[in-house]
Chains A and B, each alone.
Chain A
């Protein structure tokens, strides 16, 4: 054999032998799903379960689906689809249909919960109490996601096991079974959750109890209602009020104060956002609520006043609900005065005005004002007849001045999901519906007294508190809806409240003229995303669309 051939054959031989192992994949950047079967993996899995909260609370979709198109809020300058119930509120609408839409995102959250719950059985070497606490968090979140879905879409696919293989089989499980599953999950959560969670932001026992109370209250108004629902709701809410660490804050407006992680005793459960740019997420609620102050004389866009999308314009009904003399919740909810941040000379009410920093630039009122009243001041007044598509009294609960920049859409403020104020209203409504108006009155008045305007002296305060009290004869379903509006205005739940009390159509037609034109009976459910139907084996036969869409 010549040297040449020797080299040749050796080369071929070496290459042929050494390369077989090249076909083994080498995953470096990602983690295999086996990780969930370890204690650390379970912890990380549970953290991931929370993420879907951010696809609803503080998103435009979550807001559009619950805030306007109701009696509380109408359309300011937003796309009119959801307020006006236009033809664009259809199965192809991205709010439902997109991969980033609420349907897909909440189900992603559910699948994560399912994966964690399934993996827990394989986890060894973990403290069983801790494991159960974490599991309980996953159960709570799964129930929470299903609860949002079932209220929005009605009967739906109920899966309690993780998706491990491709299947296009899906069916619409009746509402009754969905509620059973939600209740069972929440009962597990109540059985295993601690009173004080290990971290702020995690689910507590009170959250699960509040949540279940709300579920019962809601089921009571659904086709799956059971006779004991109101009583159970009442009992659970009462337990939160009496046994949890949660306390009503003395001053209503402090509930929504920003800073220090928005931790206060009234908060039972909130969707977490923070300044942390890598994990803080982005609460977008401020965008939709902020009104269009910029461009008004003396005003320019700044951080404190926010980036106004001006979507959610309060209805006349909403603004007229308060007895502004005694009720601090109007001031605590609505911002009506804007102060000059762009000094200069402006023409206001026909006269030239030299405006300084901090001067009142314009105000919004809830009553009409006369020309003489206008002439008497050196700022602009927006009375109800002057409201534009962007300027009106603005719900300030979501204002976010800690964002990093003027036009930064990513808010940092937590979005409150459950707070004790609502627990009182659940307890009151449930007690009233269960036939205990006396108890209902106690809860209502406790909450209303808290809302009284703090006077200069304790006497005035006491008088205000007394003035806030209502009598048992004042109580009615309509009263509870009004009271919820006063207390919880804009807090991502109104549409559900109206649907559960079967008052969506009547109240929208009464109080929201823009929405009144097109709203139909079938609008009490949202359309099933077209993608879900198209992708299901048997399409609309197997997974029928909600009536009307």
Chain B
């Protein structure tokens, strides 16, 4: 009976499908009217079918035994109608959705006459590309019951009735709810949560689903990248990825920030992460890349993720993927135009003495040395100021040189891209132009870029493609920085005379040449032109089911050419004949990779295998020539041969190679347990034979607890994964030829002619080997409340050993250092990333508020140095301390009036810096130095809040750091900006005089120069590096579609953005510093107005 019933049910289901096609409008609430007398049941049921749309399933032979039907029903429900028709019939019926099944009456079925309304819904879940999604949870709303889609995306759920609602949720996708109603089949396309393919994470040499990732990996997606216009890709990382520390040391146009992932581990080797652009590791920077071409940036932080890059992964890896063509419904190309215009306003200058204060300062400095008699100012002034200065002081002629050499900066960026796809071809072509006019005159940067990405499928098993970047940029003033000179230039005197001619020595001091001479058009040229071609070509062949071979070839060609010219009227020539120089550098590097991948799913097991063989090479050739005494200035650096004197000719060459073998296995079981094992062997030419090869293994394990059955009912949970990893990575940390003992060239003269010689330049050390980092990582990824709150926590410890360290030799050896594998460091830290949808609008375009928070703590420690667990005082490296610390004397004040004797005991005098005698031996000796603080912050964090309502969106981004010390550039001896010598201008500090017994800064002394500066002047430069910075505020407005359409655009967004509007920092607000992140240049606020259009 059971099986028969099942058969009928199945039959009814099929029929129902057929019926639905032409009776879909029928509803249960439809009223029935029947006036029948003696009709057959069959006819009656037909009538009901016609009126209600319900189908009947019955055995026609069986129905012959039915009694005739006589009913008179007016506007009754289907239920009532059926009850009336089946009275006294030997049959009963069941309603299954739209089908009414008629069966012979039995004892049981009489019982079951109560209508069973439970329904079964089936369907398939796919993503926007039409690919099936497996593992999607399909839950009956309000219950904990439901199903999970299988590998083909199919599911089947039994609901108690048709009133139910199904909730489809999956990590990385927007949750959808569907009211079941009368539907039997519900096929769902889940939309990506973010516009990017958030689910797919690009990892080294391939991609992975986010849920399968076993390492510590952070992603910045396209949406985040598009939020704020930046000039370099690295700027995107600050505050957005926990554990990534970005510093913009230099704000001149074209300057690249530096990036440190999880602290400093290498002492002498680089700590820059490896940048992999469209699969090709690059060594020549990101500055040529137009940030708006980037689709995603992925930061690989732990050794499991980076070990596949072996020798180059020790400092973390940043994978950059540029946008590729996407297929849309119409197959039409999309045209994007993105632009912004920006103004850079200087918000803070170095605070130096203004004219009158400077004059007072000079007098004080001379008075302190007995060279100025305040009772006879006229005569004294005549002694300390030369006639030109005296006249200027008398006439109140002062110049603020800082403001003379600066201006409002201006940036503009344009990007036009065309992208699209057919069934077999995908393309993206983008043209970019970026122009940045610096806030310091003569500094500017222009970049023209062209990107072409193309993917072509040939047949079913072959795919080829390329990503190509062509970039040409021109930078002016890369090596020209007049700022320090302007800060220390005496404010006394005018830059121009009455007739508007420039005055070479405005205050008569022969070493204070007028810096404005540099800006006379054509006087100073410092131009670098750089061309870069960075390509990545690939071919992929599907050899068998799941087995693919891929070859990647990535040539990277950089040619840069600099020309320098300084006319006679410039600060560098000061009236001498002009000088000029040229230099050219040609770098060719390539990466060739052969990859074999295999993936297979069998039952609950999933296996991914990757094998790699690769070669990398970089060759660097350069030439340069310099001349002076150019008879005709107009030739600038285009005719070096015309000069009278050659001041230098040089050329250079270096080359290195790395050969690598890598294997990786990813194994997943039941969507719950994931294991990644990798092994990489790298050989580097930089080491001597016998030490060239390094082995870098890693293992990682992840456990998707969320997919456990016991958590099926935890509806508040939407993701939970635990990850553990271990791995080793390396760092060559050695320049080519670094193991060899080489001679360096010397210059001397005999008979007034050149006598070039060769002297020992380095100590050979053929035993050098790889610097290795071993690291452990534990992480947890979580999601709550349907992904309203998501995030991850990471804890790590990395141990770097065999550090390639300059072993500091006593200089009596004739050398100051030799590179050796000594010492080790450790970085321990933890990171938190949290994203929350604070307010989720129920309606489309309602008010929405999201917050992203990142916080990271890192502790750097030196474990061992050249002499074991012994401090290296000469280099300020201490066991148990951070890699870079400030080790110096501690200033505790200024010797005050009446303390003459005590001061003299410490070889100092009243008005000079008082140092803590920490060992109390009655004198200041090197033992009194102490660790004052570390260079890198212990804590870094970022907080991003985004609001949207209707078509308006607002973002407020805050970054901060704490736990570090900074050394203010302008207060660092030996700089004249802190000389306190009464000659050069300097920072307007509260200095000591007998009448002003401050403890802040010592008494100025005439004649004292910046080098070595005030006694113990090095102690004046330290300040807390903590800050909280309002990094960015951007407000955008997306024009309503109809307005956009009127302008022939599909979409149009305008935005206004302010970068660096405010910083909270004691260094700035208490100590008049410029900026805790950049102490040597004026601080700027960037205002940008931008436009994104899609046609």
Contact = CB atoms under 8 A, between A and B. Distances in A.
A420 interface: no
Nearest to B383: A388
Contact of B741 (A32, A78, A404, A407): A32
A15 interface: yes
Given A33-B741, A272-B748, A163 B647 contact: no
B710 interface: no
Interface stretch (B170-178, B792-800, B802-810, B1076-1084): B802-810
Q: Which of B764, B807, B809, B906 has the most CB of A within 10 A?
A: B809
Q: Which of A50, A99, A279, A281 has the most CB of B within 10 A?
A: A279
A87 B1015 contact: yes
B748 A408 contact: no
B387 interface: yes
A87 B753 contact: no
Given A201-B751, A532-B811, 12 more contacts: A23-B685, A29-B654, A33-B743, A51-B757, A156-B812, A162-B814, A165-B765, A273-B749, A277-B648, A278-B754, A534-B808, A534-B926
A416 interface: no
Contact of B907 (A8, A167, A294, A518): A518
Contacts of B510: 294-295, 301, 307-308, 407
Interface in B973-1016: 974, 1005-1009, 1011-1012, 1015-1016
B628 to A, nearest CB: 7
Contact of A75 (B577, B813, B1007): B1007
Interface in A106-158: 107-108, 110-112, 114-115, 156-157
Interface stretch (A40-48, A230-238, A428-436, A497-505): A40-48
A24 B690 CA distance: 12
Nearest to A12: B594
Contacts of B907: 86-87, 518
Contacts of B653: 28-29
Interface of B: 371, 383, 386-388, 508, 510-511, 541, 543, 549, 551, 573-577, 592, 594, 613, 615, 617, 628-629, 645-648, 651-655, 657, 659, 683-686, 689, 692, 736-737, 740-744, 746-761, 763-765, 807-816, 818, 820, 866-867, 872-874, 906-908, 924-926, 974, 1005-1009, 1011-1012, 1015-1016
A421 interface: no
A112 B759 contact: yes
A269 interface: no
B814 A110 contact: yes
Contacts of B386: 295
14 contacts: A20-B659, A29-B651, A47-B750, A47-B756, A92-B926, A107-B813, A112-B814, A165-B765, A167-B809, A168-B809, A202-B750, A531-B810, A532-B810, A535-B811
Contacts of B617: 22
Interface of A: 4-5, 8, 11-12, 15-16, 19-20, 22-33, 35-36, 41, 44-51, 54, 75, 77-81, 86-88, 91-94, 99, 103-104, 107-108, 110-112, 114-115, 156-157, 159, 162-168, 170, 199-202, 261, 272-281, 294-295, 297, 301, 307-308, 388-389, 404-408, 518, 529-537, 539, 543, 549
B926 A537 contact: no
Q: Which of B573, B689, B763 has the most CB of A within 10 A?
A: B763
B748 A16 contact: no
The 4 A-B pairs with the shortest beta carbon distances in the complex, nearest first, are A111-B814, A47-B757, A48-B757, A534-B874
Contacts of B577: 405
Contact of B615 (A22, A24, A200, A539): A22
Nearest to A543: B810
A80 B1008 contact: yes
A276 B1008 CA distance: 34
A157 B814 CA distance: 11
Given A276-B754, A294-B510, A532-B811, A166 B820 contact: yes
A274 B645 CA distance: 14
A88 B760 contact: no
Contacts, number: 297
B750 A44 contact: no
A536 B737 CA distance: 27
Contacts of A35: 743, 758
Contacts of B752: 200, 261, 272, 274-276
Contacts of B645: 277, 404
Contacts of B573: 405
A518 B925 CA distance: 17
Contact of A23 (B541, B692, B747, B812): B692
Contacts of A44: 756-758
Contact of B874 (A27, A94, A531): A531
A406 B576 contact: yes
Given A51-B757, A94-B1011, A112-B814, A29 B751 contact: no
A425 B64 CA distance: 150
A104 B814 CA distance: 7
Given A15-B592, A80-B1008, A407-B510, A104 B811 contact: yes
Nearest to B461: A4
A15 B811 contact: no
Nearest to A96: B811
Q: Is the interface of A mostly helix, strand, loop or mixed?
A: loop
Contacts of B758: 31, 35-36, 41, 44-45, 48
B685 A15 contact: no
A152 to B, nearest CB: 13
A170 B812 contact: yes
A486 B828 CA distance: 68
A167 B813 contact: yes
A51 B925 CA distance: 34
A47 B874 contact: no
A536 B820 CA distance: 16
B760 A278 contact: no
B810 A168 contact: yes
A538 to B, nearest CB: 9
A297 B386 CA distance: 10
Given A44-B757, A295-B388, A532-B810, A163 B763 contact: yes
Given A15-B615, A93-B1012, A201-B751, A51 B1007 contact: no
Contacts of B746: 47-48, 51
A79 B1011 CA distance: 8
A163 B815 contact: yes
Contacts of B1008: 79-80
A405 B645 CA distance: 13
A15 B809 contact: no
Q: Which of A35, A156, A272, A297 has the most CB of B within 10 A?
A: A272
Contacts of A107: 811-814
Nearest to B371: A389
A278 B574 CA distance: 22
Contacts of B818: 165-166
A330 B573 CA distance: 36
A23 B647 contact: no
Contacts of B684: 23
Contacts of A50: 748, 755, 757
Contact of A15 (B613, B652, B974): B613
Contacts of A166: 763, 765, 807, 809, 818, 820
Q: Which of A115, A535, A537 has the most CB of B within 10 A?
A: A535
Contacts of B685: 22-25
Given A279-B748, A532-B812, A5 B543 contact: yes
Given A163-B815, A301-B510, A406-B576, A108 B754 contact: no
Contacts of B764: 33, 164
B748 A535 contact: no
A115 B760 CA distance: 7
B1063 to A, nearest CB: 34
Contacts of A536: 810
Contact of A19 (B615, B755, B813): B615
A426 B924 CA distance: 41
Contact of A276 (B737, B753, B924): B753
